[in-house]
Chain A
Amino acid sequence: EVQLVETGGGLIQPGGSLRLSCAASGFTVSSNYMSWVRQAPGKGLEWVSVIYSGGSTYYADSVKGRFTISRDNSKNTLYLQMNSLRAEDTAVYYCARDDGSGSYDAWGQGTLVTVSS
């Protein structure tokens, strides 16, 4: 069974850093495209970043230069390192598997990041 479990969310002050993890089971992270998608409270879905199976990475303009997506193949885990956090980064962060065409066919349960002083 395909499963994604995010951890690492919490309350952080503006300007701080946080690393989210997404542990996968039932498939191999490194063989798939993996994305982070976020959802601010009461708002819609926003794509954040993707890492392709070959290792290429891409980011939304709103997080470029502040967030870094990576993976640990030995742990079958996806990460999102978030630096210089802002209030507008407050959201539930989901990791999602991209089936290779751009469709997110598996999602984690989400982890809430709150940026506030």
Chain B
Amino acid sequence: DIQMTQSPSSLSASVGDRVTITCQASQDISNYLNWYQQKPGKAPKLLIYDASNLETGVPSRFSGSGSGTDFTFTISSLQPEDIATYYCQQYDNLPRTFGQGTKVEIK
């Protein structure tokens, strides 16, 4: 199975800050990586697919980059509504695997 390692596991930032989350795959997954946002008590929501493509309707302050084994997710200017846990997910192979999540809080 492909292991996905996210860091940090949690972070606290101020409104307007730039926030960066990293995700590392245990083997080369090309660009077969997604990023999801999950708010408390809600289902996950797809934000970024193919490592860097923004899902329709997702604000442009969210972005993703990377390929191979190393990926980055960025919120360019943190907003109060961005408080959530963010997960990366690979779809190069079955089983699909997720990172352990990064909880984003407002300082």
Which residues of A does B touch, CB under 8 Å?
35, 37, 44-47, 50, 58, 60-61, 94, 99, 101-105, 107-110
Contacts and interface: CB of A to CB of B under 8 A. Distances in A.
Contacts, number: 57
B95 A47 contact: yes
B100 A109 contact: no
A103 B74 CA distance: 19
Q: What's the dominant secondary structure at chain B's contact region?
A: loop
Given A44-B100, A47-B97, A107 B91 contact: no
Given A45-B89, A60-B95, A102 B100 contact: no
B96 A44 contact: no
A46 B89 CA distance: 10
- CB-based closest 8 A-B pairs: A102-B91, A107-B43, A47-B96, A45-B98, A103-B49, A44-B101, A44-B100, A103-B34
Interface string B20-46: 000000000000101010100011111
Contacts of A35: 96
